[in-house]
Amino acid sequence: MKKVGKYHVGRTIGQGTFAKVKIAVNTETGKNVAMKVLAKSTILEHKMVHQIKREISIMKIVRHPNIVRLHEVLASTTKIYIILELVTGGELFDKIVHQRKLCENESRRYFQQLIDAVDYCHSKGVYHRDLKPENLLLDYQGNLKVSDFGLSALPQQGVGLLRTTCGTPNYVAPEVLGQQGYDGSASDVWSCGVILFVLMAGYLPFSEADLPSLYRKINAAEFTCPNWFSSGAKSLIHRVLDPNPKTRINIEGIKNDAWFQKNYVAIRRGVEEEVNLDDIDAVFNDIEDQYVTEQVGDNGSGPLIMNAFEMITLSQGLDLSGLFDRQQDYVKRQTRFVSRQPAKTIVATIEAVAESIGFKVHSQNFKMRLEGVSINKMHQLAVVLEVFEVAPSLFMVDVRKVAGDTLEYHKFYKNLCSKLDSIIWKPKVDGRSSLLRTMTC
């Protein structure tokens, strides 16, 4: 197992264009963390030093129970390591897809937690600018955690009106789509309103196949609430999804709304920790004493072997049955299946199936990247698959979305698995207990 400073580094649990997120354990405390790994060469090549510094600075500034916490930042000679709170409950988006829609009380609770977090960010002069269910995580107790501050604006950038058009089209406020400046606080409120609608309805208020039609509907706030919305919810959503940012309800107004107030328990803020951002510049400079050592274990020519620590962190508690349960009717951004076929056969089969459904395949060392175009041809869909050996003659294929829409990924994964039936192993219920005993020995 690789070691970075005081952290034992495990498997990759997330991957984007410029970074990987790995699970790790703090050897001093024994606690699991998420480690975001960025290559310095990539940061410099794409001129992202300012953006990465900004994201790290924001994560250090915003410390709230409903925001993913940044523990520390480390650097080696070649990489930047951002150590984050490990949130294990998945994305709120997955919960919506699984349940189709959430009941009003549950939707209200998540909305209350979201508003609390966003209000705190705004009090620090931080505007998220990319609020959507995919960036809202759930912890093991089901509490909401706001993540992904890559598009956020810092206080010094937020003086006056913001001018950068960013965010996900379906959740973006009308004023952000225009060429004029916009208020970061008001645009975040709009996104919160779209999220509330999605939680309760199970679908987007603004959704079109082409961007011009989508933008027209957003600018006109052309939407209709389903008949199962209560009158209080409808009233609040219409006040939030007001296309005029000057008359749109603000966070204070939302918090005073009768529908919002039901069963609301405000977060009590304790004494604010003093935040020092001086170490962030040091991480990006070639200062020898800022470096941490990297120790890499020797891997053979076969698939990586997944150890017990990594397997347990994939499941809730010590029940590993979730690793092998393919009966669920939904998938997450990251999921997996098990096969008893030889590793090379698994790779060859996946490559053939992916190419047959129009994906380009890049393969190396039992790791594959599949690239294709989404159904509406508006986005690229990219997926990474990696084969792990979890026991003799037993392999786990880990599948992760790298780029593209999460709903598109859900459809892709179901289609892929239906065509990989010959290699996917479905253990019998009677044999599960003996399998788990074998794997946990």
Q: Is the pLDDT of residue 56 over 70?
A: yes
Least confident segment among 302-306, 324-328, 331-335:
324-328
- Grade residue 328 by pLDDT with cuts at 50, 70 and 90: very low
Of the chain, the percentage scoring pLDDT greater than 90 comes to: 22
DSSP structure class, residue 135 = G
- Whole-number pLDDT of residue 168: 64
- Whole-number pLDDT of residue 287: 38
Q: Which residue has the higher pLDDT, 341 or 14?
A: 341
Task: Tell me whether residue 36 is annotated as binding.
Answer: yes
What is the average pLDDT across 380-397? 82
244 φ, ψ to 5°? -95, 110
How far is C-alpha 259 from the chain's CA centre?
A: 29
Q: What residues form DSSP beta bridges with 237? A: none
Specify whether 130 is catalytic. Answer: yes
Q: Is the pLDDT of residue 5 over 70?
A: yes
Least confident segment among 67-81, 100-114, 275-289, 340-354:
275-289
Give tens-digit pLDDT for 256-302: 999 999 999 887 765 566 666 666 666 665 533 455 555 555 455 66
Least confident segment among 95-109, 268-282, 369-383:
268-282
Give tens-digit pLDDT for 214-272: 888 999 999 999 999 999 999 999 999 999 999 999 999 999 999 999 999 887 765 56
- Grade residue 116 by pLDDT with cuts at 50, 70 and 90: very high
User: Which of 323, 352, 364, 275 lies closest to 57 in space, CA to CA?
Assistant: 275
Length of the chain: 441
DSSP structure class, residue 66 = T
User: Which of 267, 7, 342 lies closest to 114 in space, CA to CA?
Assistant: 267
- Whole-number pLDDT of residue 278: 60
- Whole-number pLDDT of residue 114: 95
- Whole-number pLDDT of residue 252: 95
Of the chain, the percentage scoring pLDDT greater than 70 comes to: 74
pTM exceeds 0.85, yes or no = no
One-letter amino acid at 7 equals Y
Q: Are 338 and 324 in contact (CB under 8 A)?
A: yes
Per the residue annotation, which of 94, 130, 188, 257 is the catalytic one? 130
What are the structural domains, with CATH classification, of the chain? Answer: 2-86 (3.30.200.20), 92-261 (1.10.510.10), 304-440 (3.30.310.80)
Q: Are 321 and 436 in contact (CB under 8 A)?
A: yes
| CA dihedral over 195, 37, 398, 373, signed as positive or negative | positive
- Whole-number pLDDT of residue 87: 87
What rounded mean pLDDT belongs to the chain? 77
Q: Are 303 and 395 in contact (CB under 8 A)?
A: yes
Q: Exposed, middle or buried: residue 224 (CB in 10 Å: 0-12, 13-18, 19+)?
A: exposed
How far is C-alpha 140 from the chain's CA centre?
A: 15
- CA angle (188 as vertex; 183, 190 as ends), nearest 5: 100
